[in-house]
Amino acid sequence: MTEVLLEKPFDFVALLRINRPEAKNALNGEVRRQMAGHMAALGDDPAVRVIVMTGNQEAFAAGADIKDMAEVGAIELMQRNNHLLWRAIANCPKPVIAAVNGYAWGGGCELVMHADIIVAGENASFSQPEVKVGIMPGAGGTQRLTRAVGKFKAMLMLMTGQPVSGTEAGQMGLASLVVPDGEVLDKALEIARTISRMPPVAIAQIKEVLLAGQDASLDAALLLERKAFQLLFASADQKEGMKAFIEKRKPTYEGK
């Protein structure tokens, strides 16, 4: 397992680093399999509450591996069932933070958009350049990008393949936060640490309801929210959080 390195920088936080520097972290099958495997395992691990994914200073990931796709046929591509690997990432029930420096292009940009929070360096580069190699995004780029930045900015990026900087990404709604390049990972880890101290059951419900509600009618989404809100009153963490407030002390959350 060396294409994606797993580290535990501190309690309750896991850090996944894409590790193919020789190929600008291009996402070959092995990277995608390892990323999906880690996400599934970390999603199940009670000792992990937040996951940060990153690349290196030059590239988060410069796309799916073109050398891996250049000669493939449609049926073989279909039989690779890559969508199941992407789904494992999308289905991770824990907060995922992307820390982005350098290229987040093509499948790399799509991977970033699987995250819940995106911290970008000012000079990061976001792009969906697939059209330039004769294809289009295949892992959510046309859909997640449009939901993030709206139709007109998405069309421009998708049809020209032109990159936007981290600073522009922040202005467009494609990043949660933009910081100087050298501070990206520290900032992402700081946010991860903050979230890791929050009640895990509430955090999981926020993620589930926000994502499920995004594509539902407002009425249905508000119903989902209300039910999840009510459910949280069955958690020990709710009792602890409110008791600690009243007793003027710090709460200790156990995820129960």
For ligand CO8, which is the closer residue by CB, 107 or 170?
A: 107
Q: Where are the alpha helices (DSSP H) in the chain?
A: 29-44, 74-79, 82-90, 107-112, 141-149, 151-160, 166-172, 184-196, 200-214, 218-232, 236-246
What DSSP assignment string belongs to 102-136? Answer: SEEETHHHHHHTTSSEEEEETT-EEE--GGGGT--
What DSSP assignment string belongs to 129-155? Answer: -GGGGT----SSHHHHHHHHH-HHHHH
For ligand CO8, which is the closer residue by CB, 62 or 209?
A: 62
* Residue of 3, 110, 122, 168 marked active site: 110
Q: Which stretch binds ligand CO8 (CB under 6 A): 47-55, 98-106, 190-198, 242-250?
A: 98-106
Q: Which stretch binds ligand CO8 (CB under 6 A): 134-142, 149-157, 189-197, 224-232?
A: 134-142
CA torsion sign, 185 to 187 to 190 to 195?
A: negative
62 contributes a contact to ligand CO8 by CB under 6 A: yes
For the window 101-130, what string marks contact with ligand CO8 as x by the rule CB under 6 A? --x-xxx--x------------------xx
- Rounded CA-CA distance 226/209 in Å is 10
Q: Least CB distance from residue 158 to ligand CO8, whole Å?
A: 12
Among 5, 17, 19, 23, binds ligand CO8 (CB under 6 A): 23
Task: Return residues touching ligand CO8 (CB under 6 A).
Answer: 23-24, 26, 62-67, 82, 103, 105-107, 110, 129-130, 133, 137-139
